[in-house]
Amino acid sequence: MDFSLSAEQSQIRDMVAEFTDEEIKPRAAEIDENDEFPQDLVDQMADLGLMGMPFPEEYGGAGLDYHSYAIGLEEISRGSGGLGTVVAAHTSLAGNMLYEFGDEDQKQEYLTPLSRGEEIGAFALSEAGAGSDVPAMDTTAEKDGDEYVVSGGKLWISNGSVADTVTLFAKTDPDAGNKGISSFVVRPEEDDGFHVEGTEDKLGDKGCPTAELRFDEMRIPEDRLLGEEGRGFVHALKTLNGGRITIAARSIGLARAALEDALEYSQDREQFDQPISEFQTIQHKLADMDTKVQAAKMLMHRAADRKMRGEDYIKQAAQAKLYASEVSREVANEGIQIHGGYGYTKDFPAERYYRDAKLNEIYEGTSEVLRNTIANELLD
């Protein structure tokens, strides 16, 4: 097995790392403080081809492999967890729904502007009473002639208030359980009845608006149906499976940021007439932090490799997301500890990494659900 990056992968890493260091990191504290969607940074990422990394050039994408996409998202997240979520929700969820399940016309009309970064995408699945339990959703889409009438609401939708295209899940047959769920393309500016109720004031992940959406008899044309009726639940599971690789990438980026800052601080901070990095306790913390980050990377790239080969990767994606998300919190926590009292203040970004990292254990499959998934794969 070759663990070295190809020339193209190294080039992508270096390019995104440079952009992160020069453009994102200097703005990260401001983004966290103001919690405003950084449209200018998104526009710059679009110019660099970072808003459609894994999609073919024929649909406006960069045509990169999934390793390169994960590496790019890792570097973006190293600068800002919120911006990492913006890209992941836009690409891995909304964009991938269109790429995998849209017909050619839908790809040309809706995926292409997303891949180019001309528009922003969102993925509307969760509801107040339907988080991990997807079939419990209440949103319905009733066929009426050549249209669907959508009623209901969604919650915790990343990019929901700024999206130009939303991939939406609703019940077309409320009595059929998960086989009665279908998926659609929604255009907020065009579809009467689409309402943004507000955005959440979150612990972290600032800069990525997390919206509550409401649909009041929203009419959408029948050609916005993705695939066939009743396939929405399958679409959601397959899309989230791929998305877990990129949440692993976000987790690794945040863990790396926490480790790099802790390493630098430990060499600058002196106690008892020597840098604290000279104390074995601190050295052991740093050693454990780095080991966990490297292990998480291996799990992420293993899942990406299986996805690229067309092999089943349900267990591998779940393991990568589970381990990397918990590592991001653990490493961020140790980063605060190494900073001591300063780590508990906003004078240093250590506390921000912790707040951003916690989300990784919750969205796109909680740690509890992922353990169930892994166990089911083992038992099968």
Torsion angle, alpha carbons of 285, 291, 296, 298, to 10: 170
345 torsion bin: left (phi>0), alpha (psi -120 to 50), beta (else)? beta
Q: What is the DSSP letter of 107?
A: I
- The answer to whether domain 7-120 has CATH 2.130.10.10 is no
The pLDDT-based confidence of 2 (bands split at 50, 70, 90) is: confident
Whether 233-379 and 122-229 are alike in CATH topology: the answer is no
Q: In whole angstroms, what is the distance from residue 253 CA to residue 31 CA?
A: 17
For the stretch 204-217, pLDDT in tens is 999 999 999 999 99
Two tokens at 69?
């996409």
Two tokens at 265?
């601080």
Phi, psi of 203 (to 5 degrees): -60, -45
Two tokens at 302?
């293993």
Q: In whole angstroms, what is the distance from residue 98 CA to residue 106 CA?
A: 7
Give the pLDDT score at 364.
94
Q: Do residues 164 and 95 lie in contact, with contact meaning Cβ atoms separated by under 8 Å?
A: no
Average pLDDT, the chain: 97
Residue that the structure tokens 């929405």 belong to = 232
Q: What is the DSSP letter of 127?
A: B
**Active site positions, annotated:** 364
Is 44's pLDDT higher than 80? yes
For the stretch 19-35, pLDDT in tens is 999 999 999 999 999 99
The pLDDT-based confidence of 1 (bands split at 50, 70, 90) is: low
- Topology classification of domain 122-229: Butyryl-CoA Dehydrogenase, subunit A; domain 2 (2.40.110)
For the stretch 315-367, pLDDT in tens is 999 999 999 999 999 999 999 999 999 999 999 999 999 999 999 999 999 99
For the stretch 178-203, pLDDT in tens is 999 999 999 999 999 999 999 999 99
Q: Do residues 228 and 241 lie in contact, with contact meaning Cβ atoms separated by under 8 Å?
A: no
For the stretch 279-302, pLDDT in tens is 999 999 999 999 999 999 999 999
For the stretch 69-102, pLDDT in tens is 999 999 999 999 999 999 999 999 999 999 999 9
This prediction's pTM: 0.97
Q: Where are the domains of the chain?
A: 7-120, 122-229, 233-379
Give the pLDDT score at 3.
81
Q: In whole angstroms, what is the distance from residue 136 CA to residue 345 CA?
A: 41
When pLDDT is averaged across residues 5-15 and rounded to a whole number, the result is: 96
Q: Which CATH class, in words, describes the domain spanning 233-379?
A: mainly alpha
